[in-house]
Amino acid sequence: MKEVDARGLSCPEPMMLTEEAVKSEKGAIRILVTEPHQRMNVEKCARDHGREYTSTETEDGFAVVIDPQK
Amino acid sequence: MNLSDSKMKLAIAGIVCGLVAVCLAYFGNPANMAFCIACFIRDTAGALGLHSTETVQYARPEIIGLVLGAFIISVVTKEYRSTAGSSPVTRFVLGMILVIGSLVFLGCPLRMIIRMSAGDLNAWVALIGFILGVGTGVIALKKGFSLGRAHLTNRMSGGALPVLMLGILVLALATTLLKSSESGPGSMHAPIILSLIGGLIFGAFAQKSRMCFAGSIRDVILMKNFDLLTIIGSLFVVMLIYNIATGNFTFAFDTPGVIAHSEHLWNILGMYAVGFAAVLAGGCPLRHLILAGQGSSDSAMTVAGMFIGAALAHNLGLAASGTALNAETQEVVAGSVPLNGKIAVIICIVVCFVIGFFNKRSENK
């Protein structure tokens, strides 16, 4: 699974990395972010691209797993 | 509680913050300043004796309230995170640029919107520079700009700035140590308790809505995302209605009493520097006060840079003067940007280019 580690990066870098990954990777992607609003932005990006996702809280932030493109 | 997951909630946050600004303007804050981050940091720096311009010295409770409001709401909603380590000194420099550019224009992005809502055409001219500055920052981002990662750190570190702000409030309320203007903009203010409550409310709503003046335009240019712009739009509409209703709307350049000048090139370049620096720093002056309140030591460094930048702007004669009416001759004296201010803005823009195009994400771990 492709992993994007955006932890600790300032806005809008997590969003830019997510966009880049969603556009280039058809398989599952695991995106790590630190802030709650960054998680929300990643989820919105997945929705905008018609992808499903699952979010979980981690020790130092959040992990959003975006499902493979159908 | 989340105010950033729908445009309706974002619009409500903008309306609430607009009403706070309206109340503060009504109860005594300077005309068309209402709630200006750069001006209020400059006044607070003056109160602490960091500069000696006697007309702009007052510990603005709004600034203290913003940081404490963001701190309290982020603790209550479990969003407080003590982080640090993302190029702190670079962020300090960007903080200085944010305020120096603002004081050449005579207002931060928030005050630019407030001035626009009062019909001040100089602010509309400055908006061109601000958008171009944000656009240049976006180009840097697309070319791989990054200041690197922040990391979780000792919980107390993130609480340092809110505690310092509380300390300024205690000094203002319980001692005579702080300086306070007897004339000029620094002498014009709403009652302390109202300013503090206004700051707390504004800070809480800004934290929950992620309000950011640079971010709103950046998101439109970068991702065609208009969410954050909704807040700015609703705040503008509230202030516009207030200004029209109270007869404060004057659609003109060179309006005495507005604390503005009509040196168009320097209005554009001043806000160009602010827009550019804000994108590189990850937020406008308001956003950094909020981020510092919710635990970011990196944003606290940006805030420290803003205080020093404000002090330098007055100690070195960089800040512009506003158009004013000479009380004796009744002549309008045009405001202007001093030579030192013009040189400083050019240096600020050069520094932004160096920071923006020499800090690469690929170099970070």
Q: Is the pLDDT of residue A6 over 90?
A: yes
Please compute Rg for chain A using Cα positions. Answer: 11
Looking at residue B319, its pLDDT comes to 95
Residues of A with CB below 8 A from B223's CB?
Answer: 12, 15, 19
Of B146, B152, B283, the CB nearest to A13: B146
Q: Domain spanning A2-66: which CATH class is it, in words? A: alpha beta
A11 touches chain B (CB under 8 A): yes
Q: Are strands A2-5 and A29-33 parallel, antiparallel or unpaired?
A: parallel
Which residue in the set A11, A19, A34 is minimally distant from B81, CB to CB?
A34
A8-61 confidence digits (pLDDT tens): 999 999 999 999 999 998 899 999 999 888 999 999 999 988 999 999 999 888
In this predicted structure, what is the pLDDT of residue B317? 96
Q: What is the structure's pLDDT at B325? A: 79
The single residue listed with the structure tokens 């803003």 is B306
CA distance A8 to chain B (A): 4
Cα B6 from Cα B224, distance rounded (Å): 16
Using an 8 Å CB-CB cutoff, list chain B residues near A9: 146, 148-150
Model pLDDT, residue B365: 60
CB contact under 8 A, A40 and B218: no
CB contact under 8 A, B79 and A35: yes
Residue B269, pLDDT score: 98
d(C-alpha B282, C-alpha B287), whole Å:
8
Per-residue confidence (pLDDT) for residue B6, from 0 to 100: 84
The domains of chain B are located at: 7-363
Q: Which of A8, A12, A13 sits opposite B83 (nearest CB)?
A: A8
> What residue spans define the domains of chain A?
2-66
Residue-by-residue pLDDT tens, chain B, 365 positions? 678 778 899 999 999 999 999 999 999 998 677 889 999 999 999 999 999 999 999 999 999 999 999 999 999 999 999 999 999 999 999 999 999 999 999 999 999 999 999 999 999 999 999 999 999 999 999 999 999 999 999 989 999 999 999 999 999 999 999 999 999 899 999 999 999 999 999 999 999 999 999 999 999 999 898 989 999 999 999 999 999 999 889 888 877 677 889 999 999 999 999 999 999 999 999 999 999 999 999 999 999 999 999 999 999 999 998 888 777 888 888 889 999 999 999 999 999 999 999 998 877 66
B317 is written with which tokens? 């004669």
- Does A15 lie at the interface with B, CB-CB under 8 angstroms? yes
Q: Which residues of B touch A11 (CB under 8 A)?
A: 215, 282-283
pLDDT value at position A1?
A: 86
Determine the Cα–Cα distance for residues B41 and B278; give it in Å rounded to an integer: 16
Q: How far is A59 from chain B (nearest CA, A)?
A: 10
Cβ neighbours of B83 in A, within 8 Å? 8, 34
The answer to whether B209 and B9 have CB atoms below 8 angstroms apart is: yes
pLDDT at residue B34, as a whole number: 82
Nearest to A8 among B2, B86, B215 (CB): B86
Strands B151-152 and A53-58: unpaired
Contacts of A60 in chain B (CB under 8 A): 152
Long-range contacts of B172-181 (CB under 8 A, 24+ apart): B172/B47, B172/B59, B172/B61, B178/B47, B178/B48, B178/B59, B179/B46, B179/B47, B179/B48, B179/B49, B179/B54, B179/B57, B180/B47, B180/B57, B180/B58, B180/B59, B181/B43, B181/B46, B181/B54, B181/B55, B181/B56, B181/B57, B181/B58
> B79, A36: Cβ pair inside 8 Å?
yes
Secondary structure (DSSP) of chain A:
-EEEE-TTPPTTHHHHHHHHHHHH--S-EEEEESSHHHHHHHHHHHHHTT--EEEEEETTEEEEEEPPP-
A37 in contact with B, Cβ within 8 Å? yes
Alpha carbons B171 and B168: distance in angstroms, whole number = 5
CA proximity to B289, closest of B176, B212, B183, B194: B212
| A27 Rama class: left (phi>0) / alpha (psi -120 to 50) / beta | beta
Q: How far is B101 from chain A (nearest CA, A)?
A: 22
For A15, half-sphere exposure in the C-beta direction (CA atoms, 13 angstrom radius) is 22
Please judge whether B147 and A10 are an interchain contact, meaning their C-beta atoms are less than 8 angstroms apart. Answer: yes
Taking the C-alpha atoms of residue A67 and residue B192, their distance in angstroms, rounded to an integer, is 53
C-beta separation of B310 from B45 below 8 A: yes
Treating both helix axes as pointing N-terminal to C-terminal, what angle do B61-76 and B192-209 enclose, rounded to 10 degrees?
40
Judged by CB atoms closer than 8 Å, whether chains meet at A16 and B222 is answered as yes
